[in-house]
Amino acid sequence: MSFRIKALLLCLLFLHTLWGQQKKKSDLLLAPVQQAMRYGLKDKEGKIIIPARFEELIPSASKIHRAREKGKWGFVDAAGSWLVKPFLEEEGEMIGGCAVGALIDSANKFPQSQAFHYYNHPASSLIYGIIDKNGNWKLKPAYKRLILCEKNLVLFSENNLWGVMKTDGTILTPAKYSVIFPYRQGSAVMVQRDKNEIGILEIYMGGPGVITGGKWGVLGTDGKELIPPKYAYISKLSDALATFNEGGSWDMERRYDETKALHYGKWGCIDAVGQVVLPATFDSMDDFEDGTTKVSSGDSTYYINHSGKRIPAPPKKGEEDDYTPSEIYCEPAAWGFIDTIGKMIIPPAYGNARPFKEGFAAVSRLGPCAVPLKPSETRKRLNDYPNEEFIHGEFIPPAADTSDADEYWSFINPQGKLLVDYQFSEVGDFSEGLAAVCQEGAWGFIDHEGNWVIKPKYDMDTQHEYHFKDGLALIRFKGLWGFIDKTGKQVVPAVYDMAQEFSEGLAAVQVKGKWGFVDKTGHFIIKPQFSYVGGFSEGLSLARLRLPDYRVEDCGSDCKYGYIDTKGNWIVAPAYTYAKDFSNGLAAVSEFKDGENVYGFVNTSGSLVIPLQYGNAWSFKNGLAYVSKSGVGVYIDKAGRVVLTTKQNGYDEPKEALFFGGLAVSAGPGGLFGFRNMKRKWVIEPVYQQVNHYSNVYKND
């Protein structure tokens, strides 16, 4: 799948999130209610207004709610009666009496479509249109993707570019922009692709970040440019104003934090119709709130009002005491543990949970809105599960601490006993006898008894999960990376800009934008010279030349991947546009053809043993690899023969990711999950809202 399409998917996810946020802010009197895997609605006082009888129900302030039954979507009124009977594969919120709807693309209009999708539908199988509240099509399904906005405006996608039209199909702006963010308060923000741009856009942590080349502007409701694409960034409207940056550049090492990622340039404000209210003269600027914002200029930081006048700092706001159901999402389900035949071992009593490692599983405390607070309530909840032995047993799940809604973590043993009280804001899994835990913003390590072995002092702003491997742990200390042993001693000093954990005796480290490898003393075995490298696997590591932006995966002719040995010699010459690590003697590689990456597999000698023919490919595990063949996911063996077919979208990471003990997670009817064996036969029926992979924890010690 090409990088542009991936970026487009991420943008659509971001837009979908914006929809959800808007719905939550406006729909203040409704909250979902669940009973026996069915959904209904209750009001703020807890009164049931729609009984729990739908597979899924999404409330709306318009009182026209989205409902799903037998895997299809429709719309119901405030009492739960069908306005539009369920026949849609996907749906959007009713806005002004209209909504986006999708049907199966029976004519195969978009065989290579990468449109955003829900549940288990391949994206290539759907086409989108606009439907009204009576079930009539205002705009017949014929588009790869549509996004309905305010004022009867629709964003549409053609050839991976975006334009604007009305709900009757009148084109206001042809599809020529990389991204358009939905209309809010009279305008839309768009990003236009420069001809030299490598990527379009990446969305991280709910915020946008241009990779390179993209320019931001503003469209009016007539589809005309209020501001031509010329800024480095434009924020969402807040307090009727949007901040913009002029002349800035993006630091992708800080891509997860847009406020730190955008370097240099000057900041100012525009209004909803694109007029500059405050010129770009500030070094930094927060979003406006209640008429004020914080800015910096030189060494000074202060507050200003809408006219740019300097004002005293506003008083700090206290925490809100009122609970609004739509503002705090409350997941009614809880996590528990089953064995390989589906028997309940530890009942659902946790807000979140991860598989067991070294006899312990990381679990988080249930929030006050999800946990049954009385033993009788707990037993009633367990009646949903067909394990009579457990229902009438002595085990009662521990009640949640309702004094704080924040998520705190601990660990349990296979009997469900807590190792220590819930006290950690984040945790890693146990490895080599120690587990990384975060407390008060810093990471440290505890042992199997819950005692501190290495006090918390390591950086929290990292995407790496701390854990020990071969006696060493990769850590970040004061912004730089290194390795510690189990006493906390830095055996490889924290002096590197970035680093990867050790693999086959070597660790990849980055210095001044170039990657090389060090041994366990910190001595360079392979000097920094590559724009990106992977870890060593089966004696080889992927390596990339030329392109400096290590985040870009599909970079066409501007970068080439190959494989080096532990001395830095090229074993497989850099000739591929993308590559993955070796596994089971083979590695997935791709070449860029006709605007798309085409995947095959090479062996450790560099021979292409499975031809370039797939739309996407994942590494071999247990002799099988998941690949995209004609848009659908299949499993192949090392000879390239299809040995297992699926109905999944082959362009996404497989839901049946790793078989463990012959079982893999699989989605069933209605979006519920269970486990299948290698022959795709259900071993554990799909009755769970969420599941995780099995781990070998239930062996008797």
Would you list the DSSP string of 283-316?
SEEPPPBTTEEEEEETTEEEEEETT--EEPPPPP
70 and 126 belong to one structural domain: yes
Assigned domain for 558 exists: no
Query: What pLDDT sits at residue 417?
Result: 93
Query: What pLDDT sits at residue 463?
Result: 56
Boundary (domain end) residue, out of 113, 148, 183: 148
Query: What pLDDT sits at residue 429?
Result: 92
Rounded average pLDDT per 10-residue block, the chain, 701 residues: 42 44 39 67 80 86 88 91 92 89 81 40 70 93 87 85 90 86 73 49 34 70 85 82 81 46 79 86 87 85 88 64 35 73 86 89 75 36 34 34 61 93 92 92 93 90 76 90 94 92 93 92 93 92 70 54 94 90 93 82 93 91 86 88 78 58 70 75 80 48 25
201 and 309 belong to one structural domain: yes
30 and 107 belong to one structural domain: yes
Query: What pLDDT sits at residue 13?
Result: 43
Long-range contacts of 326-331 (CB under 8 A, 24+ apart): 326/23, 326/24, 326/25, 326/27, 326/28, 326/29, 326/30, 326/31, 326/59, 327/24, 327/25, 327/28, 328/369, 328/405, 329/24, 330/31, 330/367, 330/369, 330/370, 331/370
Cα separation of 14 and 431, whole Å?
A: 35
| Strand ranges for 306-415 from DSSP E | 310-311, 335-338, 344-350, 352-353, 361-364, 409-412
Query: What pLDDT sits at residue 509?
Result: 94
Assigned domain for 60 exists: yes
Boundary (domain end) residue, out of 120, 148, 176: 148
7 and 133 belong to one structural domain: yes
Task: List the Cα angle 382/383/387 in 5-degree steps.
Answer: 80
Q: How far apart are the first and last CA of the chain?
A: 45
Assigned domain for 229 exists: yes
**By the 8 A CB rule, do 471 and 463 touch?**
no
Assigned domain for 81 exists: yes
94 and 1 belong to one structural domain: yes
Assigned domain for 569 exists: no
135 and 226 belong to one structural domain: no
**By the 8 A CB rule, do 467 and 480 touch?**
no
Assigned domain for 4 exists: yes
200 and 293 belong to one structural domain: yes
Cα separation of 632 and 542, whole Å?
A: 27
Query: What pLDDT sits at residue 31?
Result: 55
144 and 269 belong to one structural domain: no
Query: What pLDDT sits at residue 649?
Result: 67
Query: What pLDDT sits at residue 542?
Result: 93
Query: What pLDDT sits at residue 541?
Result: 95
Count the residues in the chain.
701
Q: 268, 273, 271, 274: which is closest to 240 by C-alpha? A: 271
Q: What is the pTM of this model?
A: 0.49
**H-helix or E-strand containing 625?**
strand 625-629
231 and 277 belong to one structural domain: yes
Number of domains in the chain: 2
Tokens 């005293």 sit on residue: 312
Can you give the residue range of the structural domain that contains 18? 1-148
Query: What pLDDT sits at residue 120?
Result: 39
Assigned domain for 440 exists: no
186 and 247 belong to one structural domain: yes
204 and 92 belong to one structural domain: no
Cα separation of 353 and 341, whole Å?
A: 19
108 and 139 belong to one structural domain: yes
Q: What is the DSSP letter of 95?
A: B
Assigned domain for 203 exists: yes
Boundary (domain end) residue, out of 148, 180, 197: 148
